[in-house]
A and B are shown apart, each in its own frame.
Chain A
Amino acid sequence: MAVFEKITIAKAINESLRDAMEADPKVLVMGEDVGKLGGVFRVTDGLQKDFGEDRVIDTPLAESGIVGTAIGMALRGYRPVLEIQFDGFVFPAYDQIVTQLAKMHARALGKIKLPIVIRIPYGGAIGAVEHHSESPETLFAHVAGLKVITPSNSSDAYWMLKQAIAGNDPVIYFEPKRRYHDKSALDTEAIPHPLHKARVTREGSDLTLAAYGPMVKVCQDVAQVAEEEGRSIEIVDLRSLSPIDFDTLQSSVEKTRRLVVVHEAPVFLGSGAEIAARITERCFYHLEAPVLRVGGYHAPYPPSRLEDEYLPNLDRVLDAVDRSLAY
């Protein structure tokens, strides 16, 4: 238990895993290179040294095997926390996640529980090769039985993971890898925000920006610039994509009457599409402009020399803000 004035997101996740493992001997960490190496991003650094190879398990290089065996261990009473090394490598495990992990609790009419957390570093802007920069969150949020969450800062990184591990449902925990080394405060003795509640991280009156994970920081920069131009932007950090806290979003939009949703994932059938539809339904008479979306294109994630053009950035979000305000 500690108070950190400044701690990186990566270290906050490490602290969270450590505290969860100390609190519950059934919590296991599994994945490729999570042991001695401490993970390719060093998120699990030191855990195997302190908790042993029996609880911090270097697995064969087989993602379906990682998730499938974790299901078996959960059936035996364990709480595995899995690491998928990169977003683009989760697909060999997609079958186990969708056909087994998500559905088994319902299949068993509630008789068995699968408290499994799958950590996936996601998103771009790190200059990586193919398959290392993707944002597949909607592919999981679309599946009933899974919960999908993603933190944008160190405190949420710590608390949301801890809450997910303590819960009894399968959770996909997306880690904004380009923000791993961003520092912010963490109080491990604070009372945590409810796991699936969004948070208004900046109050404003002219327009709401809804974002999550790596895009929250971009939206903060946008709000700063907009303020200098005399526009008051409210930011809602969604934090959870399954379920999505539409109540918080609705309150915000009823106040600002304008909404722009920002994510790295492709716009087409992305979470922004669902948010636009639901907010239109809930706030039809409040809206002054259609809900706009800023995100990736319907193209394979481009080579890294082009990613700055592909990813939503300050200018692209500002452009959407301008378009919304022009209605």
Chain B
Amino acid sequence: MKISFLIHNAYGIGGTITTTFNLARALADRHDVEIISALRHRERPNLNLDPRVRLRPLVDLRHEKNDPRHLTPAKIFPASEYRYHQYSALTDERIGEALASLDADVVVGTRPGLNVHLALQAPARTVRVGQEHLTLNNHPPRLRNALRRVYPRLDALTPVTEADAAAYRRKMRLPGVRVQALPNSVPAPALPPADGGERVVMAAGRLVPVKRFDLLIEAFAAVAAERPDWQLRIYGKGEEQERLRALIDRLGLYNSVFLMGAVTPMEAEWVKASIGAATSNFEPFGMTIVEAMRCGLPVVSTDCEYGPGEIIAPGEDGRLVPVGDRDALAGALLELVRDDELRRRMGRTALENSRRYAPGPVVAQAEELFEDLLAARRDGRPPAPGTDHALVSGGYAARDTALVAAGNVLRTVRKARR
């Protein structure tokens, strides 16, 4: 097969770029793969891309940032998309041209706005797959409605969790569109796994409020009080840095809790720990959970929408606690801190259970999906059996329309008050 990925900016750093590069590399063993990057801001990608995968940038911000067309708002890329301000008449034009001249069998979009481009502009003969790395429930109502209008023109939609896939099936009218979860993949670590002996709890992620590292630090106070020989290491950088620093001082945890800064890859760090922690309020997937498990760590996580609950088998390879529940989090951490044998056993199980996120199995799912969709095209079948539930999904659409209207009223009221 000839497969093209369409990505926001392949030259940056982030989970979507990592997982797209991993998938592209694995597919390149048997297929002709290219990545089309809507934007480019530097000479080389930050992350290593397999040389067999072609990289084709469309708008080079280094020369074209001030092009009048780039200063004109986009019309195809939806205004309700998170990254709308980074798109323009110029990206509309270049993405449109790239799709019109595409000779791929399968084209894969990697964010909602780019999926809209595929749905509207990919050649009729090309199979269109939209990936969803965020979640339907967390999209603003206006974006949900924009996607409702065009997603029926996709062949398949692939959220990263079963739970999000279920939400799409229930809340969107997508007759004939195959909705199938496709998780992110994490390559096997090159280092031997952690042995459960180190007295270190570890977490990683951008230091932003949704990750709730404040909750983790507060919960760790209970661990430090009982077992002062344990430490918590948090890797990452971001706007919360100073606030977290102040919290550590206020709780007197400067001998136990350390903000380590951003480190990539994390692999050599995970193996220094014996427990992983993830405390987000919201986590579409939970890449760090899988990374930690692949290094042999049991993971204690909040049971937030949606990833953690599908990655962790509670009691077997980790623990799930209610979102925002500091005491439950402290209790789950302490249980693993106190019991060396439990921690080691769960770590071994985590290593075993997380193999399903290896590129091999994930790529096999993607390959099978693409081949099915291609065969359906050839045979003139719809990509998925037509289960049209217009009545139910219509209700959700009406509600989102009402939410959008209510949002407009609120905004108007706020403006009037200013």
A binds B: no
Write the residues of chain B forming the contact surface with A, with a CB cutoff of 8 angstroms: none
